[in-house]
Amino acid sequence: MRIACIGEGQTEYFCLPTIVGRRGHTVVGNLIVNGCSEDWELAISSKVIPRVFGMAEKQPDKILITLDRERRPRCSPLLAQSALQLIGDALTAKNMKCSVAIVVADLSFESILFADYSLVDRLAILRTPLSPRLGATLDGKNALAHIADCLLPGKSYDKVVHGRALAQKLRLDEAGVLNRSRSLRKLLKEIPGV
């Protein structure tokens, strides 16, 4: 498939095309929204939809949008459904047709990237493994909130550098990895391997 990517922040911008490519698809565009922390519907209308219009002109087979739930009270599927409705209405109003999929990561894109615990625990910035602090699943957890206590002195997690390293090696077909993240399962459903 020819997939156009739209991501909320730098992590998605640098990691999503890597994952899409690893699934055997061609990335035909990659845009960043630069955060959706304000009101959900306002963010979709003012930040996401203009980028969808631009990507739709490239005539991809699918536009894949990844956003973060953050601390919003509505669950990821309801947020995605609301966004899809707004985007669908906007495309119809412009007489444009394009397949659009939305993955709302729970709570952030790290809930996808951190699902491979053995990979995360091997990050060179850690003095102790992170996985014992994360529990059985990442669903509903802020994985980044736990990393500070595991870092080597003077080290920090870089969303681009370390995120990309995780995206390049994340075991996408490993049952144990998939079971840790509902968000990862949703992402892979939207970009099935070829």
Q: What was the pLDDT predicted at 1?
A: 95
- CA nearest 133: which of 112, 153, 151? 151
Task: Please report, in tens digits, the pLDDT of each residue of the chain (194 residues total).
Answer: 999 999 999 999 999 999 999 999 999 999 999 887 779 999 999 999 999 999 999 999 999 999 999 889 899 999 999 999 999 999 999 999 999 999 999 989 999 999 999 999 999 999 999 999 999 999 989 989 999 999 999 999 999 999 999 999 999 999 999 999 999 999 999 999 88
Count the domains in the chain.
Answer: 1
Q: What SS3 state is found at 155?
A: coil
DSSP state of 68: E
Q: What SS3 state is found at 11?
A: helix
Domain with 47, as residue range(s), is 1-194
Q: What SS3 state is found at 2?
A: strand
